[in-house]
Structure 1
């Protein structure tokens, strides 16, 4: 399940991607239009900025804007950044692997099935981008 944080991030990113211009957008505007708590949104956008997905401009005419083209930001990247592993078990995670205690991965049916689930999810999440979300 996506965390509220990641859901809000996707809402904000879709809003930015749907804008007609590349002009910076104020956090307050995004928060108001998407009904996201302002302080929570500030932290989310800062994480996205630190990951070089967004950038910001201070002062008059300031706000947040994409540092990368929304077509180049896979959904999986945002999910991993904000929620961590996409896989349902740590023993099948590609980036956050941890061996399960008392389990032989080679003969574990759950490991096998969860690997297939991970691969099916990633097939979509690595291909679909923020631009795809913004299109509807």
Structure 2
């Protein structure tokens, strides 16, 4: 079954909290973790990855926390997936370093091309799906 990882899911929930509070106050990892019932350490790790990849920025101080580093309208699901270092692959043979160790049929598989097409369609969908579409 194709599914989004928990890390991506939790990242989206965290971003939604930041989005919903963007005109009120900045949120810290603990605030988000409590609201979404996600371990604080995991939220902190995911927020740091998104900060490192330019999705979020942090503000220090008593009223500090996280906010979007760029216009939220420009952030796609794909950019979040990339920031969290998740590979999008429908099958193991489509990973970048696939060898015959991954699949004995890799050189002669008649399904590799259709799976590759499916994978590309999923990636394109993610590249075109804005966070704001998910949140509104």
> Would you call these one fold, judging by a TM-score over 0.5?
yes
TM-aligned CA deviation for residue 15 of structure 1: 1.5
- Relative contact order (alpha carbons < 8 A, sep ≥ 6): 1 or 2 greater? 1
Superposition misfits of 4+ residues, deviation over 6 angstroms: none
What TM-score do the two structures reach when normalised by structure 1? 0.83
Give the alignment of 1:1-136 within 5 angstroms.
1-21=3-23, 23-89=25-91, 91-92=93-94, 97-101=96-100, 103-104=106-107, 107-135=108-136
Is contact 1:57-1:64 (8 Å) kept? yes
- Paired with 2:44 and 2:34, the residues of 1 have a C-alpha distance of 13
Alignment partner of 1:85: what SS? coil
The aligned length equals: 130
TM-aligned CA deviation for residue 134 of structure 1: 1.2
Give the alignment's Cα RMSD to 1 decimal: 1.9
TM-aligned CA deviation for residue 5 of structure 1: 1.4
What TM-score do the two structures reach when normalised by structure 2? 0.83
Is contact 1:86-1:118 (8 Å) kept? yes
Alignment partner of 2:67: what SS? strand
Alignment partner of 1:126: what SS? helix
Alignment partner of 2:57: what SS? strand
Structure 1 residues 56-87: Cα deviation after superposition (integer angstroms, max 9, x where no partner): 01111100000012211111121133252112
